[in-house]
Amino acid sequence: MVENMNKETSWLILIIIVCLIVIGGITDWKYSEMHEGENVESQAKPSGVEGGFEIIQRIPSGISSGEVEEDKIVQSPLIEWRSYRNEKYGYELDLPEDWQFDETTGDPGSDYEFFGIESIYKWGESQRDYTEIYDGATFNVLRVKNPEDLSFQALVGKMKEEHENYGFTVFEEELDINGWTATALTLEATSRVEYIPYTIYSQNDYVLNKEYYLERKDKIYVINLFAVSYNNIEEFREILSRITSSFRFID
């Protein structure tokens, strides 16, 4: 009789253990099911990436002065680039697919002549036609006529002085553009600027006004960058910088 009771007790203990295992498994499964969405959500929102998405922008190696080895994570739409090559004037550069450009051999004035491209440009959504730029960006390549036959440094100094006389503060620096030494002049408006078509022109945080002077084969060239926008200035700055970095002479 005692032996039968021991057998019954053993079976009872075994049944209890099996029940605990089953209950534990169900609880764990339910917990995982309840928190499954939270895990997916946390993976979809990596830290430091707004809105939970990483946009990979592929930058062609020709856009910067150095080789681009990795994709760059940015917070802007994917930008497709194309190459522009001018055999007549001997240079090439890269520009975004959605930017327009005009070619010309005209004469913009007494001091400069167009150097194949009159303008590469992009207008913001608020920019109206036939008005001065208040939401847009332009890139120009010009050749300086230099009738006084000034040296490179003398001509840059003259242009800097003229800008300062118009009321701009001018910052000068030297840098490299694909092997060519350039002198850059960055212009910032002050209260002394004589002509301001829109208030935004006096707000330097929303304006880019820059010139790059280069010398090649006794000729002096200037690359003009201009952008103004309340909503798109950082994008315009970045793109204009990349266009400039891609500029290179080909002969």
E-assigned strand segments in 87-145: 91-96, 100-104, 112-114, 116-123, 136-144
Would you give the end-to-end CA distance of the chain in angstroms? Answer: 109
Q: Which of 189, 185, 183, 225 is nearest to 205 (CA)?
A: 189
pLDDT of residue 218 exceeding 70, the answer is yes
CA 109, CA 35: separation in Å to the nearest integer? 69
Q: How far is CA 31 from the centre of its chain?
A: 45
d(CA 55, CA 44): 13
Please work out, in degrees rounded to the nearest 5, the angle formed at the alpha carbon of residue 238 by the alpha carbons of 95 and 192: 115
Q: Above 90 in pLDDT, residue 78? A: no
- Per-residue pLDDT tens digits for 100-156: 988 775 666 667 777 677 789 999 999 998 888 999 999 998 888 888 899 999 999
Per-residue confidence band for 44, with pLDDT thresholds at 50, 70 and 90: very low
Residue 81 has pLDDT above 60, yes or no: yes
**3-state DSSP assignment of residue 176:** strand
Read off the amino acid at residue 218: D
Q: Which amino acid is at 208?
A: L
For residues 168 and 54, the model is more confident at: 168
pLDDT in tens, 192-204: 887 788 889 999 9
Q: What's the predicted TM-score (pTM) here?
A: 0.67
pLDDT of residue 3: 47
- The confidence score (pLDDT) of residue 2 equals 41
* Per-range mean pLDDT, top range of 3-7, 52-56, 118-122, 168-172: 168-172
Show Cβ contacts of residue 51 under 8 Å, excluding neighbours closer than 6 positions: 45
Residue type, 213: Y
| Residue-wise pLDDT tens digits, 62-75 | 333 333 333 333 34
User: Which residue, among 99, 95, 103, 102, has the nearest Cα to 122 in the 3D structure?
Assistant: 99
Residues 136 and 228 sit within 8 Å (Cβ to Cβ): yes
pLDDT over threshold 50, residue 168: yes
pLDDT of residue 109: 63
